[in-house]
Amino acid sequence: MGKEKTHINIVVIVHVDSGKSTTTGHLIYKCGGINKRTIEKFEKEDAEMGKSSFKYAWVLDKLKAEREQGTTIDISLWKFETSKYYVIIIDAPGHRDFIKKMITGTSQANCAVLIVATGVGEFEAGISKNGQTREHGLLVYTLGVKQLIKVTHKDGNASGTTLLEALDCILPPTHPTDKPLRLPLQDVYKIGGIGTIPVGRVETGVLKPGMVVTFAPVNVTTEVKSVEMHHEALSEALPGDSVGFNVKNVSVKGVRRGNVAGDSKNDPPMEAAGFTAQVIILSHPCQINAGYAPVLDCHTAHIACRFAELKKKIDHHSGEKTGRCPQGFEIL
């Protein structure tokens, strides 16, 4: 898959048993993300188990199993190309996995694909108060995903825009290469004969071999020896690229997930003691006061924090401040 195409990430939202696996698996196959020989192998295995009609639905499950058994850093089978984009699918099978994938920024979605089942009672179940369609839709919007493709899942002949055509209509992500380098680490590997390999996605700026980088908040500075994406060496990595890069004289324990790499000579990242944030609370069992200590997920970091002060409460419809500075919030 060529690097000349723009990378986009999509997440599929669907209520349980509403056709996500079948639709997504078929899309990956039709777009070359998995070859015919492999799908025929899956089909044969499924037929032996009496589940041949599930051959596309089982693609994602089988790819996930193969991924977990392998040792490669690059999970290439979850990707495919359209005429315009290089597409990565974020797997979000359940509520907990969905939140983890989205918040940590492993593959921040540029667009959500909402699959709506039209069978009797199926749509109502998904959009009900406790339905996953409603819950996941609110989550992706809250987390900044503003583009949505609605897919109607039903039997019979289809007309109108295809899913593939709709994917090519997604507005491309911006590439802030002029900003200082920021690369949150997703993981750190030690590879025999090579050394320490931090892995992550470039958010802003450009990463190049030979560049001197600083990792925050651990304040470790080192030189980048090489940069790779999809097992190919790069002369530079741009925003949106998920890469691994070899660094000099740094132990695998010297940096870790959640650290942020930046150019040592151009506004390197630094440790922050605190910050002011607008917080959207989806649900909470009790009142939230100053001193409340939740766990914060920021890009790939997962760390305890504390609400030092509650400054104001904002109406979620108008965006306007409501009343005086609160002592606490009651979540209904």
What pLDDT, in 10s, does the model give residues 65-111?
544 544 333 333 467 888 899 888 776 555 555 556 555 544 467 88
Q: What percent of the chain has pLDDT over 90?
A: 32
Per DSSP, the three-state class of 65 is helix
Cα–Cα distance measured from residue 254 to residue 239, given in angstroms and rounded to the nearest whole number? 25
Where exactly are the structural domains of the chain?
Answer: 6-167, 183-263, 272-332
CATH superfamily placement of domain 6-167: P-loop containing nucleotide triphosphate hydrolases (3.40.50.300)
- Of 115-129, 156-170, 287-301, which range is least confident? 115-129
pTM summary value: 0.67
Contact between 216 and 260 under an 8 Å Cβ cutoff? The reply is yes
Pick the CATH number of 272-332 from 2.40.30.10, 3.30.565.10, 2.60.40.10, 3.40.50.10310: 2.40.30.10
Q: Which CATH superfamily is domain 183-263 in?
A: Translation factors (2.40.30.10)
Per-residue pLDDT of 234-284, as tens digits, reads 999 999 888 999 999 999 999 999 999 999 999 999 998 899 988 877 777
109: Cβ contacts below 8 Å, ≥ 6 apart: 9, 10, 11, 90, 102, 140, 145
Domains 183-263 and 272-332 share a fold: yes
Burial of 167 (0-12, 13-18, 19+ CB in 10 A): buried
